[in-house]
Amino acid sequence: METSRICVEGKNCCSISRANRVAFLVDGEVYFSALTSTFERAQRFIFISGWQLDSRVRLNPRNAASPCFGDFLHDVVRRNRKLRIYVLLWDFAMIYAADREIIPLYTHPWRTHRRIHFRLDSSHPMGASHHQKIVVIDDAVAFAGGLDIAEHRWDTPDHLPQDPHRVDSLGRFYPPYHDVQLMVDSDAAAALGDLVRERWRRATGKRLRVAAGRSGDPWPSGVTPDLQHVPVAISRTEPAYDVRQEVREVESLYLDSIRHARRFIYLENQYLSSSAIGDALAARLQEKDGPEIIMVLPQETSEWLEQVSMAVLRSRLLQRLRAADRFGRLHVYYPVVEDENVQLRVHSKVCFIDDRLLRVGSANLNNRSMGLDTECDLAVEAEEPATGNSIANLRNRLLAEHLGVPAERVAQEHSAERSLVRAIENLRGGTRTFGILDGSVSRALDDMIPAAAVIDPERPLSPDELMQQFIPTGTRRRAVPGLLRLAVIFLFVAALAVVWRATSLHALIDYGTINNWMISFTDSALAPVWIAGIFTIGTLVLMPVTLLIIATGATFGPVLGFFYALCGSVVSAMVHYGLGRIAGKETVRRIAGSRLGHVQRQISRHGFISLLFARIVPIAPFAIVNLVTGAIQIRVRDFLLATLAGMSPGILAVVVLGNQLQRALQDPGIGNITLLMGLAIFFAVLGAAFYRWYGTRPLRASS
């Protein structure tokens, strides 16, 4: 039997540090409780580095008097005059605006105390995100895993279908939510502190003003360690960016772990689409004496974007794994709660290899987490039998939660059967249990979604590469199926945009609210002026310009709607352009971050043509493109003409399609449906023709 180490520093992890205590925190209630207690014990600093954070969330929703997180942080720092708090969040893509606090930089808690420092991190390639979820207190205690301090995260291990405490800041119920965080202390916590310090330096260009080194012991008395005196490995994913080299430790540790497994591999994850992980698992399934592979995945993806993308990729990979499962060792489950109509959202990123290795982190089992997004996973590898027994107990505890039985019962079944799969099968069938996950999608949806390289890339993609995926090179005859797929996507996204924005966004960017605003001055002679003002202010605070165009078209109809939306877009663009020109490059750099260089490079590529392309296929938020273009002093004539020519087709398509979509929803007859499909195909063909023309133009130096 091979006994070589799985975690190897410099190969699949950046460091292996000792932790005197490690706690396995399952679900949001216990994590938020531990976080609150630790923050109250902080002496010198708190680092928060995350994919998302919401100052409105309540860490203890059982207590109606408990403050929201932003007010809690403000109170903590006010009571300790030596404490500094540093918050670093991903400068997120606006497609996630429905689930986030828009522009948290301007919300009350972050701006009222000089010792709370808040920054947005955009130091990553186009299309990437910072997905780490790390909190460090005084370099003495740290948390890492899958949980952000955000709404829709709090839940208990009971995962009650209708928990009265599981509501968001607006009082709306949300479904059960399962996740895991790891809590570590001593050298392992300090190592995570160093990781956050470096990320802060990269994002801001400045070093944190706190010295390294531990102060006191903020470990809360209410948290009992699950492991003691163990090595903790830190594995990262970092994409290549500027002078930084690519880091793929997360992927490397997964591949090494899968190869070392002897009896079983237990995985919990939000996604399943990584080609590298799929290849490794398929190879083990084809072995005669390979390990059992148990996966716990969500029954269905929850957001509309995931339903038309990641669900398809998961279906394809599951088909491949099942085809490779020659000996029946693959078992894919989803958790079932008491009400079959309520789905438990699995967001955890957990891996157990035999009784030998425990892994908790932020990385999903998709391509992005292996090479494009910034990730951080922690792993504990057993050096002695006692640690192996503790790892087994944690796995049994996790399975007991899903199966609705005591952890001791799981241990007994596993010991008797000497097979984790048979133990699970013996315990399935209660009101809390595992269901067998099929995971398949319809053939039509599968045909509509392009290759994983587009929607789940493992490295940064240029705009040209994206175009090549949708509009392949070659003869026009071969491009026809691609155009039909693009037409369906165009129609589907247009419909989802209307429904999504009409039902899910906060009141400030709610479709109906904006529609009501516009109706109030429909008959006014100053309607174009009012609309231009709304477009200018709305896009300046990063409201999606498409949302404003949809509302304008819905209010005024296709003819006036097109004219007013184009007027509002051009006027707002010119105002932003003027602000960028007055402010100058350095001021705009502080607003746009890394996007300044990215937008400048894209616009300079073909001069006027690339500026036109940026209008048709946005390379950054509308206002950012305008500000940057003014800051780098593109000629006013080129800017105005590119805006008019580039925005007109998109506005026409959105207004006409939106108008026809409303008719189809009100009267879903064959005539309206046919016309809607015809319009979608027409506009898709126009867009595809432009992509092909743009992609075949020779490069020239910028003027």
Calpha distance 575→630 (Å, rounded): 10
Task: Give the pLDDT confidence score for residue 214 in this predicted structure.
Answer: 72
**pLDDT exceeds cutoff 70 at 226:** yes
Least confident of 316-320, 529-533, 585-589, 697-701: 697-701
The alpha-carbon radius of gyration of the chain (Å, integer) is 26
DSSP letter (8 states) at residue 242: T
**pLDDT exceeds cutoff 80 at 89:** yes
Query: Which pLDDT tens digit goes with each residue over 606-622?
Result: 445 555 555 555 545 66
Domains of the chain: 15-221 (3.30.870.10), 231-436 (3.30.870.10), 462-695 (no CATH)
Residue 584, sorted as left (phi over 0), alpha (psi -120 to 50) or beta, turns out to be left
H or E segment to which residue 299 belongs: none
| 665-688 average pLDDT score | 56
Q: How far is CA 490 from the centre of its chain?
A: 23
**pLDDT exceeds cutoff 70 at 88:** yes
Instruction: Out of 20-34, 96-110, 297-311, 459-473, give the one with best mean pLDDT.
Output: 20-34
Residue 254 in tokens: 């997964």
E strand spans, 421-468 = 433-436
Calpha distance 596→559 (Å, rounded): 36
User: What is the total residue count of the chain?
Assistant: 703
Per DSSP, the three-state class of 451 is coil
Residue 46 in tokens: 């708190």
CB 446 within 8 A of CB 312: yes
Task: Give the pLDDT confidence score for residue 27 in this predicted structure.
Answer: 97
Query: Which pLDDT tens digit goes with each residue over 31-42?
Result: 999 999 999 999
Query: Which pLDDT tens digit goes with each residue over 523-572?
Result: 555 667 777 777 777 766 556 677 777 777 767 777 777 888 888 888 88
Residue 693 in tokens: 């023309």
Residue 480 in tokens: 């026809």
- The pTM score is 0.70
| 282-293 average pLDDT score | 97
Angle (deg, nearest 10), helices 385-403 and 420-427: 30
**pLDDT exceeds cutoff 60 at 111:** no
Angle, vertex CA 504, rays to CA 499 and CA 507, nearest 5: 115
Per DSSP, the three-state class of 87 is strand
**pLDDT exceeds cutoff 50 at 367:** yes
User: At CB < 8 A and 24+ separation, what contacts does 196-201 make?
Assistant: 196/47, 196/49, 196/86, 196/88, 196/134, 196/136, 197/47, 199/49, 199/88, 199/121, 199/130, 199/132, 199/374, 200/47, 200/49, 200/86, 200/88, 200/119
